[in-house]
Structure 1
Amino acid sequence: MENLIHNINYIKPSKEKEIFLYEGHFNNFNFEKHVHEEYTISIIEKGSMKAFFNGFNHKLDKSSIITINPDEVHSCGILNKEGYKHHSLYINPSVMKNILKENFNSELLSFKDVFFNNNMLYNKLAYFIRLDKAKIDLDLVWECQFVNLLEDILKLNTKVSSNIKPIAKNSYLIKQAKEFINDNFHQNLTLDDLSKEFNISKYHFLRLFKEQTFVSPHTYLILRRIEKAKQLLREGFSIIDTSYICGFNDQSHLNRRFKSITGLTPGKYKSFF
């Protein structure tokens, strides 16, 4: 029987800043479609992985730098029995906003491409982003390296603008719907609730929502609940309180959904913070 690999680790280098380092190594696990509240920058250390971004499937290996905006639906998983090992840097939007304001005189940002290639930047990221506790230095050196790397990525692969571009009617509707779900994540929303809120046929709404987000409204509601659960667990809430605050029926319901999306139980995730 082949060895089963399923290893995940997190580090929060700074107590003051919402920045997380992540390491994952798998040969038997596929992440369901999900979102992150944070900006995500990832590299693959070894192996290859399949990924879903913006409605298309991709094969990625260690030549790629992966950049994902907050609330962008995506998934990833194994391609073969060798699996893959990858590292990610998660950056809270408030941290990114400050960096943008100070360095780009802007408060708006989105990564232009989900993945791109740059060997020199990849090597810098590989040295910095690998989750090696012996190398994590919480002083000025670490923070300077972090800001310099982020600036390099922003210059290469972002749309930074001081003006908000007009949003198409359907896009604006779905943006409002997502905000409504975010504000009411703890409630058992139905398709009827959403269609009445936005005065639209529920079947038309469902089609528009899936076209633009690649998931159903119900799936998106679950994803937002999981993101809220992650936040509460990091803040020290108990698993049972987290499950009820986030609208899950019970602790076992949270456990099932949490692990299918993060690869961890809520208890294991909580232990890192």
Structure 2
Amino acid sequence: MMYTKDWTKVSRPTEKIERMEAFFASHGFSPHRHDTYALGITLNGVHSFSYRKSMRHSLPGNAVVIHPDELHDGEAGTEAGFHYKILYLSPEIIQQVLGGKPLPFIADGISSDPRIVSAISNLLTDLDGQLDSLEEEDGIYEIAQALSHVSGQKTRRRKVNYRSAELARQFMLDAAGEVVTMDRLEQVSETDRWSLSRDFRALFGTSPYRYLTLRRLDKAKAMINTGMALVDVAAACGFADQSHMTHHFSKTYGLPPGRWADLMLRN
């Protein structure tokens, strides 16, 4: 889609993340700094900005990684303007994952590393919807780890806590249709959320949020196969609404639930 006028769209902020989408036809914003990470994805055009005494040029698909308290500006690198999504994340939140390690620093302010691009993109998929709290925690963990790995920081081996991870897993199996928060998982597993996130991945091959979502989708598929209305399936399986279920269903299975139902009920 081509735009000719500047516009911005700001998502409803959470306690930890602010998210925004914008298009600028020429000049975007003057030099400024903030005390958060600014983590964006260039969608179209060329996002040019002055950063650490040099001009940077982010192309579509690149991630922009502005370190806290670094002076920067923003403008279109071509006459086509530039379109991007961005989120703001405080160093305090990153430190909850890193546990006192130096803050990751991406010197160029731009990265094409798929780990960073994917981690940032996952929290910018749907700015019109409210982030699930567990989805948000999961995304923060992924971003912190991606930044740490790409910036070259060393990771220390440590023993995983199987008991805590298994307690969380069993709780999610029993509560697949209920609201599950990381606060609740901390209580159930008797450990902190970041240790749980790390250990759960090591033991079960995916994140707590992803595990819960897949179990909900398992239940949804079984209900859809009986002919139940999709709106009722979404409510019964713990999704916010039918569109929320459709998004995850399509992302996981490669086709929307309505199409799945058509295919299954023809047999």
Confirm or deny that 1:157 pairs with 2:151: yes
Aligned CA distance change for structure 1 residues 35 and 132 (closer, same or farther; 3 Å)? same
Cα-to-partner distance string for 1:227-253 (whole Å, 9 max, x where unaligned):
xxxxxxxxxxxxxxxxxxxxxxxxxxx
Please say which of residues 54-63 and 137-146 is displaced more in the overlay: 137-146
RMSD of the TM alignment (CA)? 2.6
Judged with a 3 Å threshold, the aligned counterparts in structure 2 of structure 1 residues 38 and 160 are, in CA distance, closer, same or farther, namely: farther
Work out the CA distance in 2 between the residues paired with 1:160 and 1:36. Answer: 27
Q: CA deviation at 1:22?
A: 1.6
1:8 Cα offset (Å) = 1.4
Contact 1:23 1:131 in 2 (8 A): no
Cα distance in 2, alignment partners of residues 66 and 158 from structure 1: 18
Q: Displacement of 1:53 after TM fit?
A: 0.9
Residue 84 of structure 1: how far off its partner (Å): 0.8
The unaligned stretches of length 5 or more in structure 1 are 162-273
1:36-82: CA deviation from partner (whole Å, max 9, x where unpaired): 11111111011112211110112221242221111101111012231
Give the corresponding residue for 1:58. 56
Q: Is the 8 Å Cα contact of residues 109 and 158 (structure 1) preserved in structure 2? A: no
Hey, what does 2:11 align to over in structure 1? 11
Mapped pair 1:119 → 2:114:
yes
| Number of the residue aligned with 1:148 | 142
Whole-Å separation in 2 of the counterparts to 1:95 and 1:63: 25
- Classify 1:70/1:123 alpha carbon distance in 2 versus 1 (closer, same or farther; 3 Å): closer
Partner SS, residue 108 of structure 1: coil
1:129 matches 2:124: yes
Q: Which has the higher contact order (CA 8 A, sep 6+)?
A: 1
Given the alignment of the two structures, is residue 87 of structure 1 paired with residue 85 of structure 2, yes or no?
A: yes
Q: Give the 3 Å change call, closer, same or farther, for CA 158–68 of structure 1 in structure 2.
A: farther
Give the partner amino acid of 2:79: K
Residue matched to 1:42: 40
Partner secondary structure for residue 81 of structure 1: coil
Preserved CA contact (<8 Å) 1:49 1:60: yes
> Letter of the aligned partner of 2:98 in structure 1?
L
Match of 2:20 among 19, 22, 29: 22
Shift in Å, 1:120: 5.4
Give the TM-score normalised by the residue count of structure 2: 0.50
3-state SS in 2 of match to 1:24: strand
Distance 1:33 1:131, change over 3 A: farther
Task: Give 3-state SS (helix, strand or coil) of 1:42's partner.
Answer: strand
Q: How many pairs does the alignment contain?
A: 153
Return closer, same or farther for 1:34/1:98 CA change in 2, 3 Å cut-off: same
Aligned counterparts of 2:133 and 2:150: Cα–Cα separation in 1: 27
Runs of 4+ in 1 over 3 A off after TM superposition: 158-161
Distance in structure 2 (CA, Å) of the matches to 1:154 and 1:146 = 12
